[in-house]
Amino acid sequence: MPTGDRIFVIWSRLGLAYRPRQFCESLNMEPAVLFHERWLGLKLPTPVRYLTQGLHTLAILLRRRPRVVWVQTPPFPLTVCAWLYCLLFRARLVTDNHSSCFHDPQWIRYRPIVRFLARRAFMNIVHNYKNLELMTSWRARQPLIVLSPAVRREELLPERLELSERVERGLDPGRLKVLMVCQFGCDDCHDEVLQAAAAMPEVQFFVTGDPNRAGFDTSTAPQNVVFSGFLPRPFFLTLMERCDVVLTLTKRPDSLFWAIRECLALEKPFVATGTEVNRHYFGEYGVFTDNSPGDLILKIQDAHRRRDEFIARMRPYIEADKQRWAEDMTRIEAALTRE
């Protein structure tokens, strides 16, 4: 199978993230990132956006006629479009299933559709062993764990960028600085973090994301919290690099945060939600919490105190995981080229 006959389709407002970019580079796939947010200045309702993106996706596939169609899911309507094309033109469908596909409230109700598609795809990629257990119970075709690849600092942040004046004011070198990676989604722990911040007035907290998404009134937050707003990735990484401890928290079970790999690359101590999968994959590299405000206070202090211990383990992990990724790509390439 000619490697040029491959395309990776993604519906995302965030553009081409590191994981799909690495898949594309490693497996010689062409990326196609779609997100129809507005038409004639009007914000499109989600069903309308899915419809227009679906028609656009089918137009791209019919024009390029790939023999392998790789999709990022959710959302499942993208997978439906890709499956229809593959069914008509005898192409191979590969799904990259993020953990939200299995556990987010907005997607759980569609599990029967996701299961139907997983049984008909050529291969189903998942992010951790818990997701693999679920895929296997569904009798999905060729389920396979592929952890997101480790990344080196120079790949993420070749240079510091200048941040906004409001953020810069909070970056006092004499204070402990804590960054919460947040999107103000249904699985975020911003309320718990703000309660912890109120009990740690000597610590400066930064919270990313758009508070309006959750209807949150920032005027009620403690004075030692700066809301950075949604930051383009280079600026977000600059802020992470200038903080002392990073919080990667979630209420979603069996989910691995990409932000942990950014912490490893930038050698930043992190506090992560103590899920089984987080402890399994990253237990040696950070501190884990039950997300309660009291425990967050203790774990932030612990992560900062043990920072040298964790940093010493991060570089060897990155190099070993780079080799693991190369082996995973060799295995997938062999499967894709097998007639």
pLDDT digits (tens, 9 = 90+) for 83-105: 999 999 999 999 999 988 888 88
- Give me the pLDDT at residue 10, please: 97
How would residue 142 be classed by pLDDT, with cut points 50, 70 and 90? Answer: very high
Question: CATH number of the domain that 222 lies in?
Answer: 3.40.50.2000
The residue with greater pLDDT, 287 or 157, is: 287
Q: Could you read off the pLDDT of 224-238 as tens digits, one per residue?
A: 999 998 898 889 999
Same domain, 124 and 171: no
Could you count the other beta carbons within 10 Å of the beta carbon of residue 55?
12
- Give me the pLDDT at residue 101, please: 83
- Give me the pLDDT at residue 339, please: 65
Q: Could you read off the pLDDT of 167-221 as tens digits, one per residue?
A: 999 998 889 999 999 888 777 888 999 999 999 999 999 999 888 877 788 888 9
- Residue 1 counted as domain residue: no
How would residue 151 be classed by pLDDT, with cut points 50, 70 and 90? Answer: very high
Same domain, 200 and 119: no
- Residue 282 counted as domain residue: yes
Q: Which of 130, 146, 162 is the last residue of a domain?
A: 146
Whether 284 has a pLDDT exceeding 80, the answer reads: yes
Q: Which of 146, 163, 185 is the last residue of a domain?
A: 146
**Count of domains in the chain?**
2
If we measure between CA atoms, which residue out of 318, 17, 20 comes closest to residue 151? Answer: 318
Task: For 52-75, give the DSSP string.
Answer: HHHHHHHHHHHHH--SEEEEEES-
Same domain, 270 and 299: yes
Same domain, 203 and 292: yes
The residue with greater pLDDT, 155 or 67, is: 67
Same domain, 89 and 66: yes
Q: Please, what sign has the CA dihedral across residues 61, 120, 256, 312?
A: negative
Whether 1 has a pLDDT exceeding 50, the answer reads: no
Q: Which of 115, 146, 177 is the last residue of a domain?
A: 146
Same domain, 279 and 159: yes
- Give me the pLDDT at residue 338, please: 84
- Beta-carbon contacts of 68 under 8 Å, excluding residues fewer than 6 positions away, are 1, 5, 6, 7, 29, 91, 92, 94, 122, 336
**Average pLDDT value for residue range 272-301:** 95
Same domain, 158 and 65: no
Q: Tell me phi and psi for residue 288, to 5 degrees.
A: -125, 145
- Residue 339 counted as domain residue: no
- Give me the pLDDT at residue 134, please: 94
Task: For 119-148, give the DSSP string.
Answer: TTSSEEEESSHHHHHHHHHTT-SSEEE-PP
Q: Could you read off the pLDDT of 7-22 as tens digits, one per residue?
A: 999 999 888 889 999 9
Q: 116 is written with which tokens?
A: 């139907």
The residue with greater pLDDT, 55 or 229, is: 55
Same domain, 45 and 82: yes
- Give me the pLDDT at residue 161, please: 84
- In angstroms, how far is CA 150 from the centroid of its own chain? 13
Same domain, 12 and 104: yes
Q: Give the pTM.
A: 0.85
Q: How far apart are CA 279 and CA 271, in angstroms?
A: 11
Same domain, 86 and 162: no
- Beta-carbon contacts of 142 under 8 Å, excluding residues fewer than 6 positions away, are 121, 122, 123, 124, 335
Whether 49 has a pLDDT exceeding 70, the answer reads: yes
Same domain, 163 and 131: no
DSSP 8-state code for residue 98: -
Owning domain of residue 203: 153-318
- Residue 268 counted as domain residue: yes
- Residue 289 counted as domain residue: yes
Same domain, 116 and 16: yes
Mean pLDDT (the chain, rounded): 92
- Give me the pLDDT at residue 293, please: 96
- Beta-carbon contacts of 272 under 8 Å, excluding residues fewer than 6 positions away, are 247, 248, 249, 257, 260, 278, 282, 286, 287, 288, 289
Whether 159 has a pLDDT exceeding 50, the answer reads: yes
- Residue 329 counted as domain residue: no
- Residue 234 counted as domain residue: yes
Whether 2 has a pLDDT exceeding 80, the answer reads: no
- Residue 210 counted as domain residue: yes
- Give me the pLDDT at residue 4, please: 60
Could you count the other beta carbons within 10 Å of the beta carbon of residue 160?
13
